[in-house]
Amino acid sequence: MATLQHMKSIARWTLAVTVGLWMAMPVQAQQGLVRIGAEDDWAPFSSVKDGKPHGMAVELVQAIFAEAGIPLELVPLPYARCMEDAKRGRLAGCFDTLPDAELRKDYLFHAQPLFVDELWILGRSASKASNLKTADLSGKRVIVTHGYTYGDVFERKADMVRVTAPHDINALRMLVAERGEFAVVYRRITQHLERGSAQELRGKFKRVGKLEDAALYLSFSRQYPQAESLVQRFNEAHTRLRKNDSLQKIEKRWN
């Protein structure tokens, strides 16, 4: 039979081991936090303002996680770094993503889009083109933004010349400077830039067509612990908020 002193020693050792294991766990695991990467330079969807994630997609993600009762930490990062950290399981996910066949190999996607936006085909103001679609871009020099995907139909199109811009605003400037015949830029992005940092370009380009509407998602890491359960809880909360129009009200404020 163990003595009382021996039992106290065992209890102290057990407590010390437990505390040691707890201290060794990542902070987010201790607190039940889910860490999601938020693109830091894609206003008005997701950017950084006063050091914090800001934008329409940020508000949508925050609302869904709050509805699901899941503590959330948003980590602002450049999109490429954000996606890489999610791919390797260092983050639970990253937004905003337009999924294609390649991305689905490394990420899980929720059932409904986080939001949908138009992908505009832009031409210079003097362009005679109108009502263009992806099929009409054969043989054309088309300006796209580095690191972005534009859906399976566009990505499979091999008979156009892609001209890469480092940022959406550069795509607009390159279009006006005749570096390409057309540029592909999201509707809300175009309008946001016209109201702000690209005001000097207003009237120098116009919409001449559009690709298929882009359905944007949060990319969940396949390497993150219990990722499928996390996606399921996200889906359930997302569905409830779509049914009661909460998410639509957020989107309306950003239109």
DSSP class of residue 211 equals -
| Cis peptide preceding 113, ω within 30 of 0 | no
CB 72 within 8 A of CB 58: no
| Cis peptide preceding 96, ω within 30 of 0 | yes
Domains parsed from the chain with CATH numbers: 30-115+215-254 (3.40.190.10), 119-212 (3.40.190.10)
Closest alpha carbon to 165 in 143, 132, 184 = 143
Q: How far apart are CA 31 and CA 9, in angstroms?
A: 29
Output the pLDDT for position 151.
87
Q: How far apart are CA 26 and CA 75, in angstroms?
A: 15
Phi, psi torsion values for 214, nearest 5 degrees = -90, 125
Question: What tens digit of pLDDT does each residue of 104-161 get?
Answer: 999 999 999 999 999 999 999 999 999 999 999 999 999 999 988 898 899 999 999 9
- Using CA atoms of 14, 19, 20, 26 in order, give the dihedral in degrees to the nearest 10: 140
Strand 107-109 versus strand 141-145 pairing type:
unpaired
Question: What tens digit of pLDDT does each residue of 30-68 get?
Answer: 447 999 999 999 999 999 999 999 999 999 999 999 999
Q: How far apart are CA 89 and CA 125, in angstroms?
A: 45
Q: How far apart are CA 190 and CA 209, in angstroms?
A: 14
